[in-house]
Amino acid sequence: MSTTVTPPNQTADQTEVREPAKAAPAAPGKPKDTPARTRRTGRASRLLLGNQPRWIRPSAAALLAFTAVLYLWNLEATGYANSFYAAAIQAGTKDWTALLFGSLDAGNAITVDKPPAALWIPALVGRVFGFSPLSMLVPQALMGVAAVGLLYLTVKRISGPAAGLLAGGVLALTPVAALMFRFNNPDALLTLCLVLAAYLTTRAIEKAGWRWLAAAGAVIGLAFLTKMLQGFLIVPGLALAYLWAAPTGLGRRLLHLLAAAGGIVLVAGSYIALFQLTPASARPYMAGSETNSFLELTFGYNGLGRITGSEGGMGGGMPGGGGGMGGNVGFGGTAGITRMFGASFGGEVSWLLPSALIVLGAGLWFTRREARTSRTRAALVLWGAWLLVTAGILSFMSGTVHPYYAVALAPAIAALVGIGAVELWRGRAYWPARITLAATVLAGSVWSAVLLGRDAAWLPWIRVAAVILGVLAAAALLLRLDSLRVVPARFRRMATATVVAVSLLAGGLGSTAWTFATAAQPHSGSIPTSGPTASAMGGPGGQGGRTGFAGPGTSGPGTSGSGLADGAGLAPDGSGLAPNGSIDGGTVSGGAMGPDGASTANSQLTALLKASTAKWSGIVSGASQAASLELATDTSVIALGGWNGGDPYPTLAQFQEMVANGEIGYFISGGGMGGGGGRGGNSEVATWVAANFEAQTVGNSTVYKLTT
């Protein structure tokens, strides 16, 4: 693989600025340019175009504008997306404590089972503009635009603007990226933080700048506060690239890495200390933990438990855990080296994964004799380690894993494709580079056809076109069509453009079509998947959609035994809310009813909770049901037992104290995830309520009035 040779003190993305030619005399009748006017024009030109070819900045602006349109178009159709996070964002718009700690309700009973950073920006926007689906989702989409822009800038510094544009385009047109940047899960902010950390590390490597590296560490700390240990998966790649290639001595490189570690500790550690040192009575309970501990959540349910399945991977102590769901595509499919190519993850992110692996291996081989400080090889190490470590963990973890986690792979795949394709193109006069480039394009087109074939009824002509284009592009690259003697010199530029265009179409047609199909559909629920159908899973027992998951919920004391299938009050798409914002498609307890009956029952329950003046209008087992009720009523509802009803909060004694203080309006029988027993023992709460309060039927729901 070739690298661009540049003069000292000039980076690969800089272009030589030549002395401007002497201006020609002004034409008769035309005003003569004055020196001041020329200077003003020159400053404006430099501001708009920079000291580089005129096409670069307009092309970058077009990339960002295209990404913005793709991620913002018809965004309001998504509604509240994942009602679990939507309710927490709504709570953050009402109460600063809820915002700081990520509480699911404005009364600060219990948090979501994640750190709160991903909730902060949309909640702050909601405070300014009012809470709504758009105030929540537009920041997510803009994070996607920012991630694409940062990836462009990062790759441009290594292999030039063409590589940056290609990398940014690949990221923007990755299906799982379009899915997550149009959704309200934490993965949007996580991905942005990871790309920003890679950019800062790339800047640090250029001149051994410890400040850049410390800033990268601080951003990794923010990634940790977004999705805990998943934010650390890129750290080996960043550290290895800097340790290998930074232009300074080994001792200084090690000290600089300590500065990066200090940045991580400063940001992540400060929040952990704040949470742990805040009295439990002054903050919500930490969901997903047994001891109300942020650290337990970090290293248990959301940490090693996710990898080993030892924490009941379904979350919060649900029996069976991730292992019980391992063969289901909504939960990652079967663990193993082929998981990223399988039915669960394949259509989300693997479209160009074979191509990325080819250019990674070839690039490391072609740069094996370059100087230690080679930026191209450092970039390959950074993005390659990011890809291999993240893909390896996702492939072999036996706890809870969902297909959309693969969005963390998208920047690495895009960067490797951008750097590798452009460097191989520059070296195409060299046979090994030409063969590798042809294999890269052909692999991308063939694998795209395989993925499209898994949904054979959807636009079958695309996979045929992808293969044909791949074969044509590979042949043109091998034969060097752009430089054949039989091609007249005046047509060679056109031939070059044709080869480039066909190669791009061959590798990107399939993923682009799937991405557009993803963006055209509103997605909702807790496990969204990409593609041409609005598929999602609201949790166990939820809607199957493309995931192929359906099944009974988990029954337990104090629940209907129906899980989400009939007890969550979810909309038919698993979102938890119907498009008009009301609870629909299910009931709080008992079997599902027809549309009219369900609508009547839920409207009565909604009206009842809205009329409550208690601190919490109600309490119900499971966070999905509580979130749906909060969004429908604009009141605070306690999620008894957290996400799945298994967290030990509130205990019977705590609940009795709340009732005695008149803080809870109604106990609603049944619940979302239905984990009534679990480790939280909320069956004791249900039993005590049934023994001491009179049941009443509200529509199709059984409720107990707890206040006098």
pLDDT at position 304, please? 77
Helix axes 133-159, 375-396, angle to 10 degrees: 140
pLDDT at position 602, please? 81
pLDDT at position 306, please? 78
368: CB partners within 8 A, 6+ apart: none
Instruction: Report the alpha-carbon distance of residue 454 to residue 449 in Å, rounded.
Output: 9
Other residues' Cβ atoms within 10 Å of the Cβ of residue 73: 12
Q: Please name the amino acid found at residue 360.
A: L
Cβ(169)–Cβ(63) under 8 Å? Answer: yes
Q: What is the pLDDT of residues 186-228, one digit of tens each?
A: 999 999 999 999 999 999 999 999 999 999 999 999 999 999 9
Residue 587 has pLDDT above 90, yes or no: no
Cβ(370)–Cβ(377) under 8 Å? Answer: yes
Going by pLDDT thresholds of 50, 70 and 90, the confidence category of residue 557 is very low
pLDDT at position 660, please? 95
Residue with tokens 């530029």: 493
* 3-state DSSP assignment of residue 384: helix
235 vs 670, residue with greater confidence: 235
pLDDT at position 484, please? 74
Lowest mean pLDDT among 100-114, 215-229, 635-649: 635-649
Handedness of CA 287, 291, 294, 295 (dihedral sign): negative
Mean pLDDT in residue range 528-541: 65
Q: Is 348 exposed, middle or buried (0-12, 13-18, 19+ CB in 10 A)?
A: buried
Instruction: Look at residues 277, 119, 243, 92 and name the one whose alpha carbon lies nearest to residue 185.
Output: 119
* 3-state DSSP assignment of residue 402: coil
Handedness of CA 118, 120, 123, 128 (dihedral sign): negative
Which H/E stretch holds residue 619? strand 616-621
Instruction: Report the alpha-carbon distance of residue 683 to residue 675 in Å, rounded.
Output: 9
Domain boundaries, the chain: 75-323+335-428, 551-705
pLDDT at position 574, please? 36
Instruction: Look at residues 410, 409, 397, 413 and name the one whose alpha carbon lies nearest to residue 333.
Output: 397
Instruction: Look at residues 3, 30, 2, 4 and name the one whose alpha carbon lies nearest to residue 16.
Output: 4
pLDDT at position 39, please? 59
Other residues' Cβ atoms within 10 Å of the Cβ of residue 627: 32
| Strand order through the sheet with 664-671 | 637-640, 616-621, 664-671, 701-705, 695-698
Question: What whole-number percentage of the chain has pLDDT above 70?
Answer: 79
Instruction: Report the alpha-carbon distance of residue 491 to residue 428 in Å, rounded.
Output: 19
Helix axes 35-49, 56-72, angle to 10 degrees: 40
Handedness of CA 160, 161, 164, 165 (dihedral sign): negative
pLDDT at position 47, please? 66
498: CB partners within 8 A, 6+ apart: 476, 481
582 vs 371, residue with greater confidence: 371
Going by pLDDT thresholds of 50, 70 and 90, the confidence category of residue 536 is low
Going by pLDDT thresholds of 50, 70 and 90, the confidence category of residue 303 is confident
**pTM, rounded to two decimals:** 0.85
Beta bridge pairs of residue 620: 639, 668
Residue 700 has pLDDT above 90, yes or no: no
DSSP 559: S
Going by pLDDT thresholds of 50, 70 and 90, the confidence category of residue 42 is low
Instruction: Report the alpha-carbon distance of residue 626 to residue 306 in Å, rounded.
Output: 25
Q: What is the dihedral of CA 285, 288, 292, 293, to 10 degrees?
A: -120
Beta bridge pairs of residue 695: 704
Taking all residues of the chain, what is their mean pLDDT, rounded to a whole number?
A: 83
Q: What is the pLDDT of residues 591-626, one digit of tens each?
A: 333 333 333 448 899 999 999 999 999 999 989 999
Instruction: Look at residues 64, 90, 48 and name the one whose alpha carbon lies nearest to residue 149.
Output: 64
Instruction: Report the alpha-carbon distance of residue 41 to residue 52 in Å, rounded.
Output: 16
Instruction: Report the alpha-carbon distance of residue 171 to residue 524 in Å, rounded.
Output: 22
pLDDT at position 154, please? 98
Q: Please name the amino acid found at residue 477.
A: L
Lowest mean pLDDT among 43-47, 325-329, 551-555: 551-555
Distances in Å between the alpha carbon of 144 and those of 65, 70, 92, 115, 151? 12, 10, 22, 20, 11
Residue 22 has pLDDT above 60, yes or no: no
Going by pLDDT thresholds of 50, 70 and 90, the confidence category of residue 569 is very low
Instruction: Report the alpha-carbon distance of residue 318 to residue 675 in Å, rounded.
Output: 7
Q: Is 43 exposed, middle or buried (0-12, 13-18, 19+ CB in 10 A)?
A: exposed
Going by pLDDT thresholds of 50, 70 and 90, the confidence category of residue 508 is very high
Q: What is the pLDDT of residues 267-284, one digit of tens each?
A: 999 999 999 999 999 999
Which H, E and C letters describe 178-223, residue by residue? HHHCCCCCCHHHHHHHHHHHHHHHHHHHHHCCHHHHHHHHHHHHHH
Handedness of CA 692, 697, 698, 700 (dihedral sign): positive
* 3-state DSSP assignment of residue 268: helix
Residue 241 has pLDDT above 60, yes or no: yes
Other residues' Cβ atoms within 10 Å of the Cβ of residue 314: 27
Lowest mean pLDDT among 189-198, 495-504, 531-540, 611-620: 531-540
Instruction: Report the alpha-carbon distance of residue 143 to residue 149 in Å, rounded.
Output: 10
382: CB partners within 8 A, 6+ apart: 198, 201, 202, 237, 238, 240, 241
Instruction: Report the alpha-carbon distance of residue 406 to residue 549 in Å, rounded.
Output: 19
Question: What whole-number percentage of the chain has pLDDT above 90?
Answer: 69
Handedness of CA 261, 262, 267, 272 (dihedral sign): positive
pLDDT at position 64, please? 98
Tokens representing 101? 């700690």
Cβ(445)–Cβ(470) under 8 Å? Answer: yes
Mean pLDDT in residue range 566-583: 34
